[in-house]
């Protein structure tokens, strides 16, 4: 799931978590919006049909809570990767 979330980008993922908390309909709408704007990346939040809507919603919401920890800082003050 992390790979799929990475394809969508941080802003989209934060919106997805917000919509997951609101309602199943908002969550589904936000998923479709993200997929429509990221067509070349072929995002599949169901992981090939393995996850149903309810499980996707719970999993994505939980993962987004710690999502910022996954983003690596690109460079330190000296220009060296961390």
- Counted residue by residue, the chain has a size of 82
Ramachandran quadrant class, 13 (left: phi over 0; alpha: psi -120 to 50; beta: rest): alpha
- Quick: pLDDT tens for 18-76: 999 999 999 999 999 988 887 777 888 888 888 888 998 988 888 888 876 765 544 44
pLDDT over 50 (residue 77): no
Written as one string, the DSSP assignment of 28-58 is HHHHHHHHHHTGGG---TTTTTTS-HHHHHH
The pLDDT assigned to 80 comes to 52
Better-predicted residue by pLDDT, 72 or 13: 13
Give the end-to-end CA distance of the chain in Å, rounded to a whole number: 24
């Amino acid at each position: 799931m992390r790979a799929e979330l990475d394809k969508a980008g941080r802003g989209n993922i934060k919106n997805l978590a917000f919509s997951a908390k609101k309602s199943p309909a908002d969550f589904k709408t936000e998923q479709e919006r993200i997929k429509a704007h990221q067509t070349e990346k072929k995002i599949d939040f169901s992981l090939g049909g393995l996850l149903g809507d309810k499980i996707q919603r719970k999993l994505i919401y939980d993962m987004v809570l710690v999502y910022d920890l996954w983003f690596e800082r690109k460079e330190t003050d000296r220009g060296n990767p961390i």
